[in-house]
Homo-oligomer: A and B are copies of this chain.
Amino acid sequence: MSKEILYIIKVGGNIIDDEKKLSGFLKQFAGLKSHKKILVHGGGKLATKLAGQLNIPQQMIEGRRITDEETLKVVTMVYAGYINKNIVALLQANGCNAIGLSGADGNSILAHKRIHASIDYGYAGDIDAVNHIFLKNLLDQDIAIVMSPITHDKKGQLLNTNADTIAQEIARSMSESYEVNLIYSFEKTGVLLDANDDSTVIPSIKPAYYATLKAEKKIFAGMIPKIDNAFTALNSGVRRVTIGNAEELEKLISHTAGTSITNE
């Protein structure tokens, strides 16, 4: 018997910051009727803005926010509160029963405080385990899951955690029970041959072609970690990874837009 399909869709910050784009994306997400689905959202600029208003200085190292105690309060409020609950309310308005979670809820994502030889990332979490039984129970009730990028360590500490990594770890864990399609949706149309030309989307990437693209330096540097992560996911049981524009979610699902990455 073939497994049921599960869509795990990460939506990026630039979409969340734009009320109209977010609303269009959520309409399409809600429209995936009778499909099991998990939405993982990032943070957007609202946390940075709120930290600014509260005079909490923000420090970024290699694109990652250093999460001190006050910043953790801000991201917990903004990600797990404001953004998460508004997304859930909008999905309910579109006829999609949804539930918003942090990793503490139902012990859904267990993490530990990042340990690093030279950089103190503060309350940043690296993932140890995904509670796939709890998540599957919700999906079995036809409830869409909306996951915020906040996890916990089961010792009472909340932790700020990268949303891309959360999507990947949930995808890996759920592959046991589902045929998982992992979709990274953001403001770009897919993996591009020319970073400045949205029409140069590569529709399909398989391992041999990826090796060629890299050897010929046809993929711009910023994309390489994303595609490497995609292959890591595929090698851990995920069926397909798609990268593309959140405003074209329906087309990403039907493989008529974006870049589809598979092993075969």
Q: How far is the CB of A217 from chain B (nearest CB, A)?
A: 44
Q: How far is the CB of A71 from chain B (nearest CB, A)?
A: 13
- A61: chain B residues at CB < 8 Å are none
- A143: chain B residues at CB < 8 Å are 106
- Considering the complex, which residues of chain A in the window 118-135 have a beta carbon less than 8 Å from any beta carbon of chain B? 134
- Is there a chain B Cβ closer than 8 Å to A152's Cβ? yes
A90 to B122, CA, bound (A): 19
Chain A residues proximal to chain B, CB less than 8 Å = 53-54, 73, 76-82, 84-86, 88-90, 92-93, 97-102, 104-107, 134, 137, 141, 143, 150, 152, 154-158
Q: Is the CB of A93 within 8 A of B150?
A: no
Q: Is the CB of B92 within 8 A of A156?
A: yes
A79 to B105, CA, bound (A): 15
- A158: chain B residues at CB < 8 Å are 85-86, 89
Q: How far is the CB of A3 from chain B (nearest CB, A)?
A: 23
The quantity of this chain's copies bound in the complex is 2
A53 to B55, CA, bound (A): 10
Q: Is the CB of B85 within 8 A of A104?
A: yes
Q: Is the CB of A100 within 8 A of B105?
A: yes
Jot down 21 A-B pairs with beta carbons below 8 A, ordered by A: A53-B54, A54-B54, A76-B81, A80-B81, A80-B84, A80-B85, A81-B85, A85-B102, A85-B150, A86-B158, A88-B102, A92-B107, A92-B152, A92-B154, A92-B156, A93-B154, A97-B107, A100-B102, A100-B104, A134-B141, A137-B141
A155 to B54, CA, bound (A): 32
Q: Is the CB of B105 within 8 A of A98?
A: yes
- A53: chain B residues at CB < 8 Å are 53-54
A20 to B134, CA, bound (A): 31
Contact of A89 among B84, B86, B157 (CB under 8 A): B157
